[in-house]
Structure 1
Amino acid sequence: MSIDPSSIPNFGGQPEPQPSGPDGPVVPDQDLVKQLLDQMELKYVVDEEGDLAAPWEQFRTYFMFRGEEEQQIFSVRTFYDRVHGIDEKSKLLEAIDDWNRRTLWPKAYTHTHDDGTVRLIGEASMLIGTGVSLEHFVSSTVSWVRASIEFDKWLVEQLGLEAEIEGKDEKPGDDEA
């Protein structure tokens, strides 16, 4: 099975072409996801656990298969690298509760580490064990990736982190005259 390149929705906002492929359901696998990522021109690596990961500057998105046969689940999980303090957790929860009410994916949640730092995770999943249409799989995966990127942008706006991000772009000593 292969993905027709014209079937990959673009990130530029033009109408999305419809994929062509098998008429019946397919059971997606890692090779199919690699094809999709290649055609989306996204770089990826395979981690030590065998999962695909696409790295961005502020986060990493994993494409994982879990479970056995008819119960197999495909999950797109994004780990956001921005570190938040435990004192910010209530503000974070308020923001991601708002996101989760307004959107279908990714569903976002916090993870508090032993050292008291808090990070965010976004996740969307699909039951694939009995097969899914290729069109549904491709459009869902692309939408989930797009939504993971949008969530990061949205969170920056909600929490007023623009100055923090712009500050990282400045080199030490730039403000000295």
Structure 2
Amino acid sequence: MSIDPSSIPNFGGQPKPQQAQGPAGAVVPDQDLVKQLLDQMELKYGVDEEGDLVAPWEEFRTYFMFRGEEDQAVFSVRTFYDRPHAMESKAQILDAIDDWNRRTLWPKVYTHTHEDEDGTATVRLIGEAQTLIGTGVLLEHFVSSTVSWVRAAIEFDRWLVEHLGLVEDVDSAEKPEDEG
């Protein structure tokens, strides 16, 4: 079966032929480029045992990972939210992240059942955004996407705290007992 070229919609002009190494002005991002970007954003970061860059926040960690080979290479920004949620609240958590995933582009958030040191199972959340980079991307696009993904990871944590009413828990934990 072949596709009739005339059946493909034209969204503004004829496509321009691109060379095999990617579009003009494209770069293939690497870890050094991400380090420069994180430095410009004034974010603290380190390298984990797998060689991935990681930027820690108080309630989560964001990893900047490169996976795959050549034209299939992927850049992923993955955030692991450290706040544990009880297994009994999983349905409420799923409703919340379904709402987030419907209304936003990134990060796409999913659950992970985690066994704590004491053997208790809890629900943890992971957010992720990724893009193919193997054939190259425009530097401006890579930078703006990465910055947007980091900001959205932070925003998700704030949104979840407000959405689930965790603000009261945080506020009450900060008050001295005699103010009650």
TM-score bracket, normalised by the shorter chain, equals 0.7 to 0.9
The Cα of 1:116 is off from its aligned counterpart by 1.6
Please tell me whether Structure 1 or Structure 2 has the larger radius of gyration of its CA atoms: 2
The Cα of 1:163 is off from its aligned counterpart by 1.4
SS of equivalent to 2:27: coil
The Cα of 1:175 is off from its aligned counterpart by 1.5
Root-mean-square deviation (CA, aligned residues, Å) is 1.2
Query: Which residue does the alignment assign to 1:169?
Result: 174
Query: Which residue does the alignment assign to 2:157?
Result: 152
Poorly superposed stretches of 4+, deviation over 6 Å: none
Query: Which residue does the alignment assign to 1:138?
Result: 143
Query: Which residue does the alignment assign to 1:46?
Result: 47
The Cα of 1:79 is off from its aligned counterpart by 0.4
SS of equivalent to 2:130: strand
Q: Tell me which amino acid in the other structure corresponds to 1:29.
A: D
Range with greater deviation from structure 2 (34-43 or 109-118): 109-118
Query: Which residue does the alignment assign to 1:125?
Result: 130
Q: Tell me which amino acid in the other structure corresponds to 1:101.
A: R
SS of equivalent to 1:81: strand
The number of equivalent residue pairs is: 152
In 1: Cα distance, 2:97 partner to 2:170 partner: 20
Query: Which residue does the alignment assign to 2:31?
Result: 30
- Identity across the alignment (%): 74
Higher share of residues assigned strand = 2
Check 1:56–1:155 CA distance in 2 against 1; reply closer, same or farther (3 A cut): same
Q: Tell me which amino acid in the other structure corresponds to 1:45.
A: G
Q: Tell me which amino acid in the other structure corresponds to 1:175.
A: E
Query: Which residue does the alignment assign to 1:85?
Result: 86
Is there any run of 5+ residues in structure 2 with no aligned partner, and where? 1-23
In 2: Cα distance, 1:35 partner to 1:168 partner: 37
Is there any run of 5+ residues in structure 1 with no aligned partner, and where? 1-22
Q: Tell me which amino acid in the other structure corresponds to 1:85.
A: A
The Cα of 1:169 is off from its aligned counterpart by 2.9
In 1: Cα distance, 2:170 partner to 2:135 partner: 43
